[in-house]
Structure 1
Amino acid sequence: MNILTRFSVGQYVYGNRSWLRIIDSRLKIIVIMIFLITPIWAGPIWRLSLVGCLLLITFLSLLPSRVWWRSLCLLSCLSLFIGFISILASFDIQSIDSSLRNPNELEVVLESYKNWDILQIPSQRVFFIDFGPYNFSRKAFELGIKTSTLIFTVIHSVNLMLLTTLQEDIVWGLSWFLYPLRKIGLPISKWLFQLLIALRFIPLVQEEFQNIIKSVSVRAINFRNLGFKKSFNLILILVERLFQNIFLRIDQGAESLLSKKKIIIKTNRFRTSYPSKFLNVIVNTLTICFILIAIFLRKLYGAL
């Protein structure tokens, strides 16, 4: 199993089929910041709208389905699982029948409380274990939506950008935004060079992980015969070997950089030049319109 081709997470996929590739990297960074920042202090409707917008962009991006469908399914399952755990963790496990005060004193509060609850599960006994009572409120449901949509939005939006944008182009776009900070003496070029190395290092980590999986599959290890304790020890050994290989790659990269006496970093060279076509102008113009509409809708409908 080739993980690098089956799960293209965080690495650029070469090609020219998608219109996402011709969008200016500076506009992509602004769009990504919209997906990352606007969910803060936003209601569930806006968060679900961002998820729907991301799915729509993914389906209409003209990217090959083999590039994104596996990672999309895995991320969707992970987000739903974490959202479900958040809902269970926020259950109100207080008794439904018992009341600490006279209900006649809090008629208004009780009426709003009844409207706020979605589901009430009374106490039940299964064999010798008592379950409940559980109070499934709308607040718990909103918490599940917030956690699941936040994980999906953050990971999938960044992954879409990395799939369709060269690492050098991302670094150049960030350098364009951070250019005023150079006037006050901050080492922006060095920071961006470190970011470029980190982005280049993502496929190496995936390759080492793939090598570990291949080594286990070749040896045909039967975890059932090993038992729980030995299987757990074997997993720890594999994780340790994975980190050792990653640190070895880091040492090799550091030695290659230290062997050079002086490194001249010019972020202007990282810019990818696209031919000026009418389609590029249309796509970038529509992207600017999308940014303005998203900011307007966030201000209008995104509040809690």
Structure 2
Amino acid sequence: MDLLRSLPLGLYLEQPQTWLHKIDPRVKLAWLMSFLTSYTFANNFWRVLLVVLLILTTVIARIPLRVWRQQMGWLLTLSFFVLAIAAISPDGLGIDYQPRLPANEQILTQQYTSNTTNTVPEQIGKKKEYSYVLFHKGPVRITRYSLDLGVRISTILFTVIYSTNLYLLTTAPEEITSAIESLMQPLRRLKLPVTEITLTLTLSLRFIPLVLEEVQNLIRSVMTRAINWKKLGLKGAVKVWMTVAERLLENLLLRAEQMANAMMVRGFTSPNEHKVQWHDLRLQQRDWFAIAILVLFWGVRLVIGTEV
């Protein structure tokens, strides 16, 4: 199971149990949706603040360093490279930038002096410096729009990936499905199969480790045979990997059949008749405190985070 242990994203941390683990999964889902939607039509200050908030939450929750050090390091590195590439790339406006001030400043001074003879003397000659091009040396050119675009892309990339990973890291698959089923209860009035949907989601989440295990076993079987890929050529290599893919599909179908037989042996006929209550979802005092912080979060977002 080395592949499962080394997978950087999407794993559930069973031990130690942090305070993030104990929060109701519905509240955590609301926080996740807030992180994924609050950066829409937001300014760059709020986008950077979301990144800082995610990092501080990870540190304050006392999640072991070995769990998040590698994945956060890779994400921060990727976000930095995205920021650098977007900042030095052309901004796409396709225009020639002209200075706001004339080349001969004496003309501006003469016009400004003639039009402001009745103004305060201290205000004469004051100019507000502005430059659209922030840095230009050789082929490297950074403009205000390209830097703004780089900050947007890099922060959104980090927020989307890491907020989702933090939710999966502190929430068990059964808690996720229970929370989704609880939130989808009003859809029963529309005669939607809510229980069947959540059951399918639960089985899918439980089936992912089996898929990774089968992939790992097949890769090891190919490596132990010491195949000379140069002698096989392109056609032979494609044939080998097609055989591996076919074998993988057969093994996964066999695992699915075994899972279905196990459910049938236990007398499972329909989710409504054999419903398994994974968790008793009740809002505790810490959950109400998290909801209050969420309301404050959106209040701050509307006050300082709205893009003008």
Distance in 1 (alpha carbons) for counterparts of 2:285 and 2:102:
63
Q: What is residue 285 of structure 1 aligned with on the other side?
A: 288
User: Do structure 1's residue 152 and structure 2's residue 168 form an aligned pair?
Assistant: no
Q: 1:84 to 1:262 in 2, by over 3 A?
A: farther
Aligned residue among 243, 263, 273 for 2:270: 263
Task: Confirm or deny: 8 A CA contact 2:214 2:251 kept in the other structure.
Answer: no
Task: Confirm or deny: 8 A CA contact 1:6 1:70 kept in the other structure.
Answer: no
Q: What is the letter of the counterpart of residue 264 of structure 1?
A: P
Q: What is the letter of the counterpart of residue 161 of structure 2?
A: I
Distance in 1 (alpha carbons) for counterparts of 2:143 and 2:169:
39
Task: Confirm or deny: 8 A CA contact 1:43 1:303 kept in the other structure.
Answer: yes
User: Do structure 1's residue 175 and structure 2's residue 191 form an aligned pair?
Assistant: no
Alignment: residue pair count? 282
Distance in 2 (alpha carbons) for counterparts of 1:213 and 1:82:
32
Task: Confirm or deny: 8 A CA contact 1:83 1:144 kept in the other structure.
Answer: yes
Q: What is the letter of the counterpart of residue 294 of structure 1?
A: F
Q: What is the letter of the counterpart of residue 53 of structure 2?
A: C
Distance in 2 (alpha carbons) for counterparts of 1:75 and 1:296:
28
Q: What is the letter of the counterpart of residue 292 of structure 2?
A: C
Alignment root-mean-square deviation, CA: 4.2
Distance in 2 (alpha carbons) for counterparts of 1:79 and 1:297:
25
Aligned residue among 137, 141, 144 for 2:143: 137
Task: Confirm or deny: 8 A CA contact 1:212 1:238 kept in the other structure.
Answer: no
Deviation at 1:36?
0.6
Q: Secondary structure at the match of 2:136?
A: strand
Distance in 2 (alpha carbons) for counterparts of 1:232 and 1:73:
39
Distance in 2 (alpha carbons) for counterparts of 1:270 and 1:66:
33
Task: Confirm or deny: 8 A CA contact 2:196 2:271 kept in the other structure.
Answer: no
Q: 1:291 to 1:59 in 2, by over 3 A?
A: same
Q: What is the letter of the counterpart of residue 252 of structure 2?
A: R
Q: 1:211 to 1:72 in 2, by over 3 A?
A: farther
Q: What is residue 129 of structure 1 aligned with on the other side?
A: none
Q: Which runs of 5+ in 1 are unaligned?
A: 123-131
User: Do structure 1's residue 121 and structure 2's residue 137 form an aligned pair?
Assistant: yes
Q: What is residue 70 of structure 1 aligned with on the other side?
A: 70
Q: Secondary structure at the match of 2:131?
A: helix
Q: What is the letter of the counterpart of residue 249 of structure 1?
A: L
Q: What is residue 83 of structure 1 aligned with on the other side?
A: 83
Q: What is residue 203 of structure 1 aligned with on the other side?
A: 209
Deviation at 1:210?
3.8
The Cα offsets for residues 100-119 of structure 1, whole Å up to 9 and x where unpaired, read as xx968xx99xx999523211
The Cα offsets for residues 9-50 of structure 1, whole Å up to 9 and x where unpaired, read as 212221243111100011001000011111111111111111
Q: What is residue 21 of structure 1 aligned with on the other side?
A: 21
Distance in 1 (alpha carbons) for counterparts of 2:165 and 2:251:
26
User: Do structure 1's residue 7 and structure 2's residue 10 form an aligned pair?
Assistant: no
Q: 1:58 to 1:114 in 2, by over 3 A?
A: same
Q: What is residue 45 of structure 1 aligned with on the other side?
A: 45
Aligned residue among 290, 293, 296 for 2:299: 296
For structure 1, which segment, 86-95 or 69-78, has the greater mean C-alpha deviation from structure 2 after superposition? Answer: 86-95
The Cα offsets for residues 32-76 of structure 1, whole Å up to 9 and x where unpaired, read as 001111111111111111111100111121222222222221222
Q: 1:239 to 1:197 in 2, by over 3 A?
A: farther
The Cα offsets for residues 105-150 of structure 1, whole Å up to 9 and x where unpaired, read as xx99xx999523211234xxxxxxxxx4x54112111211111111
Task: Confirm or deny: 8 A CA contact 2:175 2:278 kept in the other structure.
Answer: yes
Q: Which runs of 5+ in 2 are unaligned?
A: 109-126
Distance in 2 (alpha carbons) for counterparts of 1:30 and 1:183:
23
Deviation at 1:292?
1.0
Distance in 2 (alpha carbons) for counterparts of 1:267 and 1:86:
53
Deviation at 1:247?
6.9
Task: Confirm or deny: 8 A CA contact 1:11 1:202 kept in the other structure.
Answer: no
Q: Secondary structure at the match of 2:142?
A: strand
* TM-score (ref. length: structure 1): 0.74
